Structure 1
Amino acid sequence: MGSTMLAQVGRHTAKICIIFMLAVPALMSIKATRRPDDPNLTALPARPHTFQQLVEMPPKVTAWVSDHFGFRRQFIMADNIMRFYLFHEFPSVQLAYGQNGRYFMAAHAKTVGPYQAMTTVCGKGKANASTIPYLNKLFTTFHAAGMDPKLLVVASSPAVYPEDVPADLVEECTSTDTPPARVLASPELLPQARKSILYPLNEMREIRKTATLFPKTWFHWNGEGIDQVARLTLSHFFQTPLDQPPLKVRTYMGHSDLGHMVIGVKLDTELTEPDHGASGIKACYGADCYPEMPGVARVLGDVSRFHNPNAPKRRLLVISDSFGAKLAQWNARYYGEVEHFCTTHTYELNPQQVASMKSYIYRDRENTDILFVYHDGGAMYDVLLLGTQGILPGPAAPKP
């Protein structure tokens, strides 16, 4: 009798375990109905009052359950860990598992095709139709205002490390016939714009042989190789003395800027950055760096400022996308003042703030060098346009 009951229990053990494993998360899902709505998750649909609403309920409830199922985050983490370590793949189209231990930002959105962020900066990419007209406008406008800015187009990691991209993209990303190269060669680009743009793809491919430009787990650049790009840029564009002593550096383990896309998987890597304090440089990051225009700085967010009492007493204004912050750190070696402003959020400035920003950043023009810094994807696909069109300077005042 006893053995018979044990046998029956044994035969149903798997069923019992499965029911228990599903029941606990399901009960937690029911508990979630009493919590405040999370704007990032699907809302619980309202009770249906018509037949049509009833028919539309199942997919809405399914979406709600998918977002609120108990232990959802833990299940996602387990799936991410298994796929990463066992199958060398990411669960998102936005990340790519490359070769030689390097990972890539593969797409800028979940709704675009595979490798979108990589192919657009490699050989088959094609710059937006608005790119060349806006580059012409940018430099023409600044020259009319009596200023002579320069643009550094930073080659991003798929183009700099083509041997590390997924195998079927190696040939495409090894090419030097890229969107920035074709834009620079286009007869539609005004000569005054062409001479003010630097796209050092070949030089960066040489630099990365001896110094880090992109850590293997990063989308943005980082490493001592950036100082060499800074020297290359300043010698190409400006009469900046480059005989300043090297900056002291610090090396540490840091979290990847791609890590937030794949919870449960650590993408930490070794980073090398300037140690400004040890180098005698005052460094400041964030809105508090600009008490002259605190409202503007708070909106922009990604701003920084450096004062080097031992460098020539000249100012460098860096206007950029998210790649400018790291270069500004290294430029502090060569300028008494470096002021950096990322333009990702300039569209949020009100007219008064725009006027305040323009008045401030374009001051002391005789003692200021202006450098725009945008990575190839940003410069070729309207990030530059959208970030700077609202802060272009007005024409120079007529001389008395």
Structure 2
Amino acid sequence: MRWPYGRRDPVSSRPRPERNDMTDTSGSGGALDGIKVVEMGQLIAGPFCGQLLGDMGAEIVKLEPPETGDQMRHWGQGDKPSWWRVIARNKYSVAADLRSAEGQQLARDLIAKADILIENFRPGTLEKWNLDPAALRKANPGLIVVRVSGYGQTGPYSKRAGFGGIGEAMGGWRGIVGFPDLPPARMGVSIGDTLAATYGCLGALAALHHRDRTGEGQIVDSALYEAVLQVMESTVSDYSASGVKRRRTGSALPGIAPSNVYPCRDGEYLIGANQDGVFARLAAAMGRPELADDARYATHRARGARQEELDALIGDWTATMTIAELEATMIAAGVPAGRVYDAEDMVADPHFAAREALVTVADEELGEIRMQGVFPKLSATPGSVRRPAPLTVGQDSADVLKRWLGREA
């Protein structure tokens, strides 16, 4: 069922935890310390792959067009867009016009010293710029080239332009997001781009392991639509086995009940009690323990068959309480449940603080910026934000050319 959207309880009055500052400017540390990466991508997919590798300790040299830089420098919301500060952290900016012979030679020189190259241009672009990965790997046999694109490097659609939203549509995501009586919706973040980047990073790590054993690099081909397809659970298998096509179902997943967002007097609250034992605990918390033995709700399939009926029954109960009252009840009962957070909730939450899920990075223009930390957490070689995003295009050219190439800019 669709619950009307309402305002949550304000969080501004909640006590705010002490600030965690994980920024490490020492320039060392992390599992990938010593790995050199050249990032030639722009916007989201390529740069996010670079962010992930940089968070784990790799040195990321980002090549940017001298005049404009990466367009991500201007992305974000509010009067002080800050997305660049997240996606470009732990990176060094080197200005290079890849459309010019001089810029292409600079790229080749840097790539010859690199372990990994990241790019997310339309297939064929590198080759057009005299940066064919085959030639680059001939000069540097251990080079790993991560290529992120809309449709992959091969196949009939490979030359098409493809942004994240197109990959989400082709991979099946957009078709199942939203309510059945409305057009397909989207998530509020660019999930197709970040998934493709994450799989590109995963491929790079696997390729590094292969190189450690053989000395040989390879190409990592990560397509946006395939990255989305990979997380689509049994969508294709269910169609193959039973002819069933998943459709848009709003905030509920068909056959998984109860698991929905339920109304409270001051907002909405998510409860997931679709396992038999957990549902029994929820029923007891509701003061209706008999529901767990009722043939209509006692099993997974039975609850799934009466999903809307069960959601309505639970929703009538939750509507009598505030979010705080319901949360206390769910915690006491051991039922998986939680508030629907926004950024203000995250900044104020003590669990985020205790796990250092948010870090503070000093920024010369914007002051101290809060942003997501480094995940996953490694016990022996934890990642970190070692340096803030470069403020100007090419600000690190002299430093990088001296350290990597032993020459002046």
TM-score of the aligned structures, taking structure 2 as reference length = 0.23
The structure with the largest alpha-carbon Rg is: 1
TM-score of the aligned structures, taking structure 1 as reference length = 0.23
**Which structure exhibits the higher relative contact order, with contacts defined as CA atoms closer than 8 Å and separated by 6 or more residues?**
2
- Name the one with the larger helix percent: 1
